Chains A and B, each alone.
Chain A
């Protein structure tokens, strides 16, 4: 084992590959310094120059640590830990002197692999890390074997990785899982885009530009129509003339549903969004995880959703919701800020006089949206203080939040209790996986009005202006040149199906690899026939499985070794060699018997006769074609008699 240029380049490649994904979130200066240090190291190796002096390395290290302390204002935590680890590993390359340093670097590279999964656990990350691991293993094999060429080196590395697969499968399946996600342990508030609990003009249309997945839904049997898929999120009551907010519910009473029919059961896999709300279709009736139901039918989890969460829910498509809404709540649903939007109020007052029932008034309002020159657009012009007035009578261009917001203002002004509901609408069906993908681009806002006999009734003014949005999705409702996320359009059938297949694969990965939690583990093990599962039992099974596998591997290897050792002639010869080795005259691996005998004879003339005799017998048996039954006993006797 010697350090040579090829090995050093291998180690540089290891550190480079394993740190590369971190460049995405580390401060730019750290990435730059690392690349510069690696390039410097590569240059030194390439030119065969000496390594930098100790004092120089030390001062660079101190400067780096200080700079990290200044940048992050701490030396503790995940982000800082990763930054330190990468910088110091890179610096370690610059003091690569002994084989021991190379070993340390190999281990460090393996450790940095793990840190990458703090940030991303997707399939591409896993594949890239597997490739990196292969490079690390190949470098390690290189270190151990010296001059082996690249191809056999890679072959050994691949064989080692393949051998590790059954072991890692056993550990994956049986290792007792802790509750909650391991990676989420240090609670870092990473920003994810998603619905917020306020709504102002532009807040939903901004989301429409993101094709990130919000959640996925698999229906158990009945699949509702697309226009029935209103995924309920935050319900907004309070309006200050500009922004809609949730406010405080005036009641703690559980909402009631009556005259229900058309139940739908489904499973939601929600991507983490750092907020408490869970999404379910209008109107949610049951949910499998512990969550509270707000009086406005909003589902809230106990803690913010920081990890991918899976739950079963059932909804009722036909219902009468909260027929007995307390008067304080209804009063909230009628409140408008004083002094804003006089024109809208006047229009609503006119409608109220003309209409003989609230239903008729709602129809009038929808007809107004439908017949006036309203336009559904992602880029509405900015609005001033009396935003609703400007929108309704001047600009007439808006996205769903404009329509939902102004509709609720009109209703409230006309004396009908109304509120804004935000969430998602529709979704894309993945045929391969048999589930719907709901993306951020599907974000939507609609209205609910309270009618005496029917309770809260959903009214979607967007449907009056742009029915295509509700029936076919966003892309069909917008003009072709509107800026849309690449994925929300239907670029080509081929690309679309590629994307859906990929999503189906990611979904399986999410469900079975990342989502393999305590619950799934228990379910899986029960199906495999394990009874009364406890973590002790799992741990024991795991250890037994590992022991079994290691045992099998050992047996195979021992048998291979045995095949080499059973040669009695060779065994006797090796015995002589061991005797001489103890006397300080070891045989070099490449030394032939006659050469060895000559060397021994030169060193110990008294042994010359014996050793020449033994070597000749050995050569004759092993190479001279002498039959074992003829020569072996005498050879063995000679070996036994041989003494120093």
Chain B
């Protein structure tokens, strides 16, 4: 039943080499109707991943390169006075697309960032008193440079929470890198990609995700994880209820991606690094943000009830 998804994954893996887990997480995020934050160094393939996904899924794609002099109107659009008709006409901004790549989102000022994040949250844009809905499906992949780089406005914690997941790509392993260096130019590869799925099909899958079963036993496990983050002295704050909802939504999507119609603890464990790493902060080392390690520790600390 998840055949078209397999095709999507297979095609993406041909371009993005050696990152099957990250690809699946990105798709999970999309299926769970969340937004994705990719945080890594420049040049590891963040943009390529977004591009490939858009192409493969057959979604309208817009890339917004964030800069420090960007204004909210540059994203949302602006009404311009038409001399001949004597009226204001709304010129839609780049956000009116099904898939947005918000590149280097932490280079923009907080004001511009929050314009994007509000649009993400509401799935609509309000400008000059008029509310305009954004297309569906609507999926934002934001990329962010590591926050200790110069000239960045790191997203505050409350904004990070709007992203369902944050993943890191990391350097490819030797074999994948060899393939990358020896192979065809990625740009050409992308240009030749064919959509593997209809938009309607994607939306049906999104609906299906919501019907994946979460049993009371699994809820116990999810709650045990949330409780542990709140009671443990390891973390600055525990996970919020919204994080709990995100965790379950992502686990459902992961289960569907795996071809199951019920979520199991392994699904929660698979998505937990993506869902929890940007929401948890270790007490001991506030500056390094090795969220994956933290999430791994969290998994190992909580017994499955």
Which A residues are within 8 Å of any B CB, using their own CB? 6, 147-152, 564, 588-595, 619-620, 622-625
Restricting to B65-110, which residues have a CB under 8 Å from any CB of A? none
Q: Is the CB of A149 within 8 A of B232?
A: yes
Stretch at the interface among B153-161, B195-203, B273-281, B295-303: B295-303
Q: CB distance B217 to A590 under 8 Å? A: no
- Cβ of B152 < 8 Å from any Cβ of A? no
Q: Which residues of B contact A622 (CB under 8 A)?
A: 215, 217
Instruction: Assess A623 versus B304: contact at CB under 8 Å? Given A592-B265, A593-B264.
Output: no
Contact in complex: A592, B304 (CB < 8 Å): yes
Q: How far is the CB of B213 from chain A (nearest CB, A)?
A: 5
Contacting residues, chain B, for A588 (C-beta < 8 A): 300
What's the minimum C-beta distance from A410 to chain B, rounded to whole angstroms?
Answer: 79
Q: Are B262 and A147 closer than 8 Å at their CB atoms?
A: no
1/0 contact string of B202-239 vs chain A (CB within 8 Å): 00000000000101011000000000001111100000
15 CB-based A-B contacts, threshold 8 Å: A148-B231, A149-B230, A150-B233, A588-B300, A590-B269, A590-B301, A590-B303, A592-B264, A620-B262, A622-B215, A623-B217, A623-B262, A623-B263, A624-B261, A624-B262
Other A-B contacts than A590-B302, A619-B262, A622-B215, 10 sampled, CB-CB below 8 A, are A147-B233, A147-B301, A148-B232, A148-B233, A152-B231, A590-B304, A623-B218, A623-B265, A624-B264, A625-B262
Cβ-based interface call for B290 (8 A):
no
With A623-B263, A623-B264, A625-B262: A147-B234 Cβ-Cβ less than 8 Å = yes
Shortest distance in angstroms between A317's beta carbon and chain B's nearest beta carbon? 68
Neighbouring A residues of B265 by C-beta, 8 Å: 592-593, 623
Q: Does B177 contact A (CB under 8 A)?
A: no
Any A CB within 8 A of the CB of B118? no
Query: Closest CB-CB distance, A617 to chain B, in whole Å?
Result: 12
CB-CB under 8 A from B304, the residues of chain A are: 589-592
A592 in contact with B266 (CB, 8 Å):
yes
Which residues from B are CB-within-8-Å of A619?
262, 264
Q: A589-B304, A590-B300, A592-B304 are in contact. Are A149 and B262 (CB under 8 A)?
A: no
Judge whether A149 and B263 touch: CB under 8 Å: no
Instruction: Assess the B231–A149 pair: CB atoms within 8 A.
Output: yes
Quick check: A594 and B264 within 8 Å, CB to CB?
yes
- Report the Cα distance A594→B262, complex, angstroms: 13
How far does the Cβ of B118 sit from chain A's closest Cβ, in whole Å?
A: 34
In the complex, the answer to whether A595 meets B213 with C-beta atoms within 8 Å is no
Contact residues in A for B234 (Cβ distance below 8 Å): 147
Are B215 and A6 closer than 8 Å at their CB atoms?
no
The minimal Cβ–Cβ distance linking B122 to chain A, given in whole angstroms, is 34
Q: Known A590-B303, A592-B264, A594-B264; judge A625-B231 contact (CB<8 A).
A: no
Number of A-B contacts (CB under 8 A): 61
Known contacts A147-B233, A589-B303, A590-B303; is-contact A625 B213 (Cβ 8 Å): yes
Name the residue in B230, B261, B264, B303 with the highest tally of chain A Cβ atoms < 10 Å from its Cβ. Answer: B264
Chain B residues closer than 8 Å to A624, beta-carbon distance: 213, 215, 260-262, 264
Report the bound CA distance from A358 to B249 in whole Å: 108
A594's partner among B213, B232, B233, B266 (CB-CB below 8 A) is: B266
Residues on B with beta carbons closer than 8 Å to the beta carbon of A592: 264-266, 269, 304
User: Which residue of A is nearest B238, CB measured?
Assistant: A149
Task: Tally B residues with Cβ within 8 Å of A.
Answer: 24
A147 and B300 CA atoms in complex are apart in Å by 13
Q: Which residues of A contact B233 (CB under 8 A)?
A: 6, 147-150
Contacts of A625 in B (CB 8 A): 213, 215, 262
Q: Which residues of B contact A6 (CB under 8 A)?
A: 233
Q: Quick one: which of B215, B299, B300, B301 contacts A623, CB cutoff 8 A?
A: B215
Beta-carbon contacts under 8 Å, B99-137 to A: none
Q: Which residue of B lies closest to A619 (CB)?
A: B264
Contacts of A147 in B (CB 8 A): 232-234, 301
| Complexed CA–CA distance, A150 and B261 (Å) | 40
Distance between Cα atoms of A146 and B301 in the complex (Å): 10
Q: Which chain A positions have C-beta within 8 A of B266?
A: 592-595
6 closest cross-chain pairs (CB), A and B: A589-B303, A592-B265, A624-B262, A592-B266, A149-B233, A152-B231
Task: Tell me which of A147, A589, A593, A620 has the highest count of chain B C-beta atoms within 10 A of its own C-beta.
Answer: A147
A624 to B213: give the CA distance in the assembly, Å.
7
* Nearest opposing residue in chain A for B225, CB measure: A590
Smallest CB gap from B214: residue in A: A623
* B269 shortest CB reach to chain A, Å: 7
Chain B min CB distance to A556 (Å): 20
Which chain A positions have C-beta within 8 A of B230? 149
Min CB distance A272 to B, Å, is: 47
| A109 CB, min distance to chain B CBs, angstroms | 21
* Chain B residues with CB below 8 A from A594, complex form: 264, 266
Query: In angstroms, how far is the closest chain B Cβ from the Cβ of A593?
Result: 7
Q: Which residue of A lies closest to B255 (CB)?
A: A623
Q: Which residue of A lies closest to B227 (CB)?
A: A152
Q: Is the CB of B213 within 8 A of A623?
A: yes
Docked Cα-Cα span, A620 to B263, in Å, equals: 10
Residues of the A chain whose Cβ atoms lie less than 8 Å from the Cβ of B303: 589-590
Q: Once the chains are docked, how many angstroms separate the CA of A333 from the CA of B300?
A: 91
Residue of B218, B266, B300 with highest tally of chain A CB at under 10 A = B266
CA distance A619 to B218 in the complex (A): 10
In the complex, which residues of chain A have a beta carbon less than 8 angstroms from the beta carbon of B218? 623
Q: Taking the nearest CB of chain B, how far is it from the CB of A158, in angstroms?
A: 15
**Is B299's CB under 8 angstroms from A590's CB?**
yes
A523 to chain B, nearest CB (A): 48
Q: Most chain-B CB neighbours within 10 Å: which of A149, A590, A594?
A: A590
A623–B218 alpha-carbon span in the complex (Å):
6
Task: Select from chain B the residue with minimum beta-carbon distance to A594.
Answer: B266
**Docked complex Cα distance between A591 and B217 (Å):** 14
CB B223 to nearest CB in A, in angstroms, measures 14
- B218–chain A nearest beta-carbon distance, Å: 5
Q: How far is the CB of B152 from chain A (nearest CB, A)?
A: 32
Q: In the bound complex, what is the Cα–Cα distance between A596 and B303 (angstroms)?
A: 13
Shortest Cβ distance from A152 into B: residue:
B231
Contacts of A152 in B (CB 8 A): 231
Chain B residues lying within 8 Å of A620, measured Cβ to Cβ, are 262
Query: What chain B residues lie within 8 Å of A591 (beta carbons)?
Result: 304
B264: chain A residues at CB < 8 Å are 592-594, 619, 623-624
CA distance A359 to B301 in the complex (A): 94
CA distance A20 to B193 in the complex (A): 76
What separation, in Å, do the CA atoms of A147 and B301 have in the docked complex? 9
In this complex, which of A588, A593, A623 has the most chain B Cβ atoms within 10 angstroms of its Cβ? A623
Residues from chain A with Cβ under 8 Å of B261 in the complex? 624
Cα(A81)–Cα(B234), bound, Å = 40
| Distance from B270 Cβ to chain A, minimum over Cβ atoms (Å) | 10
Cα–Cα distance between A623 and B251 once the two chains are bound (Å):
12
B55 → chain A, closest Cβ, in Å? 33
Instruction: Specify the chain A residue showing the minimal Cβ separation from B297.
Output: A147
> Of all chain A residues, which has the CB nearest B218?
A623
Q: Which A residues are in CB contact (< 8 Å) with B301?
A: 147, 590
Give CA–CA (A594, B303) in the complex, Å.
Answer: 15
Measured between alpha carbons, how far is A149 from B227 in the docked complex, in Å?
Answer: 11
Q: How far is the CA of A595 from the CA of B270 in the complex (A)?
A: 11
Closest to B268 in A: A592
CA distance A594 to B269 in the complex (A): 12
